[in-house]
Amino acid sequence: MRLGKLGYYGDFLVYPLIVVILGVALVRRNTAGHQTGWAACVLGGAALWTLLEYLIHRTFLHRGGVFTVMHAEHHAFPRAYIGTPAWISVPTFTLLVAAPAWLLGGGNVAGGLTGGIMLGYWWYGVVHHVIHHRTALPFARYFSRLRRHHQLHHHSAIGGNFGVTTVMWDVLLGTTIAAPITPRSAPQARHPKI
Ligand SMILES: [Zn+2]
Ligand SMILES: [Zn+2]
């Protein structure tokens, strides 16, 4: 949905803050020995996010329904401040990730997994913002590849390239859009006519 500047940029602060709070809660609550498991859950959650990002984009955002209508607006206006406000996304993560993880694995697993998924979501927001809003790219090699991948998603008539922070799931699940051959990248004739 359309957001104000505060709502749009707020995510970039809210999520790191929650992850720090979760980390501090762990340190205050636990004796030594739990940190490694917590860190493993964070890493696992961040990795899991990359798959969730791919699946949510491929299904809910492109297969019809209310979320597809909202996402279509981003496709029409890629630089507009469109997103999910934190007052919706934070309770959603709490309900769908933290609560079941707490019931199944306890506080450490829930805190770590939720923190990892939130870190992944935050990074997704950063990458997507950089792709659409920055002309001079930081970490050019990493971002320019992802920008090309995502721009093909926006502009190709063929559906695909659903990953934003990684191209891995598109490669593994066969949804990579083949880049059109540009004059610069077109193969040269071996024996050009003179
Ligand atoms: Zn899309
Ligand atoms: Zn986009």
- The verdict on residue 143 lying in a domain is no
- The verdict on residue 83 lying in a domain is yes
* Ligand nearest to the backbone CA of 150: 2
- The verdict on residue 82 lying in a domain is yes
Q: Is the CB of residue 56 less than 8 Å from the CB of residue 117?
A: no
- Which is more confidently placed, 148 or 139? 148
Between the alpha carbon of residue 62 and those of residues 56, 58, 91, 96, the distances in Å are: 9, 6, 23, 21
> How remote is the CA of residue 94 from the centroid of ligand 2, in Å?
25
> How remote is the CA of residue 55 from the centroid of ligand 1, in Å?
11
Among 28-37, 118-127, 133-142, which range has the highest average pLDDT?
A: 118-127
7: confidence class by pLDDT, cuts 50, 70, 90: confident
Q: Rounded to whole angstroms, how far apart are CA atoms 115 and 191?
A: 58
> How remote is the CA of residue 180 from the centroid of ligand 1, in Å?
19
Residue 77: DSSP 8-state = S
Q: Would you say residue 187 has pLDDT above 50? A: no
Give 124: exposed, middle or buried? Use CB within 10 Å, 0-12, 13-18, 19+: buried
- The verdict on residue 166 lying in a domain is no
- The verdict on residue 159 lying in a domain is no
Q: Rounded to whole angstroms, how far apart are CA atoms 164 and 170?
A: 10
- The verdict on residue 154 lying in a domain is no
> Cα–Cα–Cα angle for 157, 2, 14, nearest 5°?
110
Q: What tens digit of pLDDT does each residue of 16-58 get?
A: 999 899 888 877 776 566 778 888 999 999 999 999 999 999 9
Q: Rounded to whole angstroms, how far apart are CA atoms 23 and 79?
A: 34
Tell me the three state secondary structure of residue 84.
coil
Q: Would you say residue 186 has pLDDT above 50? A: no
Question: What's the gap between Cα 70 and its chain centre?
Answer: 17
- The verdict on residue 27 lying in a domain is yes
* Ligand nearest to the backbone CA of 82: 2
How many of the other CB atoms lie within 10 Å of CB of 188?
6
Q: Would you say residue 191 has pLDDT above 60? A: no
- Encoding tokens for residue 189? 């004739």
Please give the residue range of the domain that contains residue 24: 5-138
How many of the other CB atoms lie within 10 Å of CB of 19?
20
- The verdict on residue 190 lying in a domain is no
160: confidence class by pLDDT, cuts 50, 70, 90: very high
pLDDT at 6: 83
- Which is more confidently placed, 101 or 182? 101
Q: What tens digit of pLDDT does each residue of 60-114 get?
A: 999 988 899 999 999 999 999 988 889 999 999 999 999 999 999 888 889 999 9
